[in-house]
Amino acid sequence: MRKLLLFSLVVFIMNSAYSQESDEKVIEKIFDNVLVSNEAYNNLKHLCKYAPGRLIGSEESVIAVHFMKEYLEKLGVDTVFLQEFETPAWKCNHISIRMLLGDTEINLRADALGPSPSTPEKGLIANVIEVQGIEDLKSREKSEIEGKIIFYNRPVDMTFINTFRVYGSAVDQRYYGPAVAAELGAAGVLVRSVSTRVDTFPHTGATGFGEKRIPCAALSTVDANILSDALKIDNNLKVKMIIDAEDIDIITSFNLIADIVGNEYPDEYIVVGGHIDSWHNTDGAHDDGAGCVQSADVLRIFKELGIKNNRTIRVILYMDEELFQKGGTSYAEYTEENNIKHYMALEADAGGFSPEGFTVDASDSIVEFISGYRKILEPYGIYYIKKGGTGVDIEPLKKFGVPLMGYRTNPHRYMDLHHSAYDTFDKIHPRELQLGSGCMAAMIYLIDKHGL
């Protein structure tokens, strides 16, 4: 009996060790762990190799979900399940964009925008009108636009320091431009890639059509310059567009969810996640394979270090952030139907680069409280915690009053590769990736322990 009591006392001391340690010591152990671990890096390598082009509805998206489900199950977390939802889908089978110069056809590197319709089987041939944005197009006579291919060629504004603002300076052409051109009678649309590099990689993305859709594609920045220069020589230049794409009415897809149940407040959920889908033309290493494996790594860290969480930590790997954003909205619906109480939600969708900070979408008092963690996290690369936008997938939770956070990295290379074939696994630095896992785990540990 005495030995049993002694054993029970030892177990109690071990289980309560982290509650007695200082925050600094626990966070130091978190980073000691992640900086010698390679699990997140290896998981990302697997996703990029065996499931590139993980667009909603693709076979690769299913492979990715089941690979990460198996990994989380092997971790021994408390629950792992697929949250089912129905959604439309789209796929691009083939694209060809060519300038017609007499009897010569010159290929332009391009990727279809989603969800572009197909051209006629033999292609769409039309004159090209270059414009410097939506307002420029609207200023033209409708007769000048009808039946033409509109070429949006306004470059990004490189004078912004943060490249997400650089992206925002021209992304309206890609998202809204095709719909505006369609309403004015255009036959097709080409868009200069929204990128911070001048290179041969086209950057795709979603476009928001109304009732009328027309074929649309993004040109690499190099090829946009080639087309623009050719139009200066011959303003009667024609382009031949061939896009073979499919609309898929309804499919069943899934968000992947995994929990470590809390010890004191199991019905309060702290969410951490990213989106597991990627565009059809890319490995999706930084966007957003990195955020997914980092989120899963948070659970590994808590499990391996024996950190006892008060609240339930929930990892969500969302599907369909890129095309229709159905994963985030369906999880919000699931939340409402099941009366789930979320304490906080954190999204990682800024690439696997070096950590910089966290942005918080919450009341001023919560932002001020969380910003107090900056000092303890600064040695690990967190230089700011401030009010700001967070993430597309967790945004639908805002209507329930859930405080939202976004993990932020050094932004300067992100738009070089965003939505393009340049976003490959070799662009991932293992130390930068692992530091992100550590920063997310440390922030969740602090919020779980001290509250908001």
Query: Which carries the bigger pLDDT value, residue 243 or residue 17?
Result: 243
Alpha-carbon distance of 331 to 417, in angstroms, equals 28
Tell whether 97 and 59 lie within a shared domain.
no
**pLDDT average, residue stretch 178-200:** 98
Name every residue whose Cβ is closer than 8 Å to that of residue 243 and which is 6 or more positions away in sequence. 92, 94, 95, 112, 116, 117, 118, 119, 215, 217
Tell whether 232 and 306 lie within a shared domain.
no
> pLDDT tier at 1 (50, 70, 90 boundaries)?
very low
394 pLDDT exceeds 50?
yes
With respect to residue 84, please indicate whether it lies within any of the assigned structural domains.
no
* Closest C-alpha to 327, from 251, 436, 403: 251
Q: What is the pLDDT of residue 103?
A: 87
- HEC string of 393-429? CCHHHHHHCCCEEEEEECCCCHHHHCCECCCCHHHCC
Name the domain boundary from 210, 245, 280.
245
13 pLDDT exceeds 60?
no
- Quote the tokens at residue 226: 């080639």
Query: Which carries the bigger pLDDT value, residue 16 or residue 181?
Result: 181
How many structural domains comprise the chain? 2
Tell whether 71 and 151 lie within a shared domain.
no
Tell whether 221 and 115 lie within a shared domain.
yes
Tell whether 289 and 417 lie within a shared domain.
yes
Alpha-carbon distance of 257 to 83, in angstroms, equals 7
The amino acid present at 334, given as its one-letter code, is Y
Would you say 258 and 34 are in contact if contact means Cβ atoms under 8 Å apart?
Answer: no
14 pLDDT exceeds 70?
no
> pLDDT tier at 19 (50, 70, 90 boundaries)?
very low
Q: What is the pLDDT of residue 20?
A: 53
Cβ of 161: how many Cβ atoms within 10 Å? 9
**pLDDT average, residue stretch 282-299:** 98
With respect to residue 408, please indicate whether it lies within any of the assigned structural domains.
yes
With respect to residue 12, please indicate whether it lies within any of the assigned structural domains.
no
Tell whether 283 and 395 lie within a shared domain.
yes
Q: State pLDDT tens for residues 62-101.
A: 999 999 999 999 999 999 999 999 999 999 999 999 999 9
Name the domain boundary from 193, 211, 245.
245
Name every residue whose Cβ is closer than 8 Å to that of residue 157 and which is 6 or more positions away in sequence. 166, 169, 170
Range of the domain at 233: 92-245
3-state SS assignment for residue 128 = strand
Tell whether 155 and 103 lie within a shared domain.
yes
422 pLDDT exceeds 70?
yes
Q: What is the pLDDT of residue 146?
A: 98
Q: DSSP string covering 178-245, please?
A: HHHHHHTT-SEEEEE---SS-SS--B--B----S----EEEEPHHHHHHHHHHHHH-TT-EEEEEEEE
Q: Report percent pLDDT > 70 for the chain.
A: 96
Give the residue carrying structure tokens 């977390």. 77
**Domain holding 410: CATH number?**
3.40.630.10
Q: DSSP string covering 279-306, please?
A: -TTS--IIIIIHHHHHHHHHHHHHHHHT
Alpha-carbon distance of 293 to 291, in angstroms, equals 6
With respect to residue 87, please indicate whether it lies within any of the assigned structural domains.
no
Tell whether 397 and 439 lie within a shared domain.
yes
Q: What is the pLDDT of residue 262?
A: 98
21 pLDDT exceeds 90?
no
Among left, alpha and beta (phi > 0; psi -120 to 50; other), residue 42 is alpha
Tell whether 113 and 231 lie within a shared domain.
yes
Q: What is the pLDDT of residue 8?
A: 43
Tell whether 48 and 111 lie within a shared domain.
no
Q: What are phi and psi of 286, to 5 degrees?
A: -80, -35
7 pLDDT exceeds 80?
no
Name the domain boundary from 187, 212, 245.
245
With respect to residue 190, please indicate whether it lies within any of the assigned structural domains.
yes
The secondary structure element, H or E, covering residue 52 is none
Alpha-carbon distance of 281 to 103, in angstroms, equals 30
With respect to residue 338, please indicate whether it lies within any of the assigned structural domains.
yes
**pLDDT average, residue stretch 422-437:** 98
> pLDDT tier at 102 (50, 70, 90 boundaries)?
confident
Alpha-carbon distance of 420 to 308, in angstroms, equals 40
310 pLDDT exceeds 80?
yes
With respect to residue 9, please indicate whether it lies within any of the assigned structural domains.
no
251 pLDDT exceeds 50?
yes
**Domain holding 140: CATH number?**
3.50.30.30
Tell whether 41 and 164 lie within a shared domain.
no
Would you say 296 and 341 are in contact if contact means Cβ atoms under 8 Å apart?
Answer: no
Cα dihedral across residues 406, 409, 414, 420: positive or negative: negative
Would you say 48 and 283 are in contact if contact means Cβ atoms under 8 Å apart?
Answer: yes
Tell whether 165 and 303 lie within a shared domain.
no
With respect to residue 5, please indicate whether it lies within any of the assigned structural domains.
no
10 pLDDT exceeds 60?
no
Q: State the pTM of this model.
A: 0.94
> pLDDT tier at 390 (50, 70, 90 boundaries)?
very high
What would you report as the CA-atom Rg of the chain, rounded to the nearest whole angstrom? 24
Q: What is the pLDDT of residue 9?
A: 39
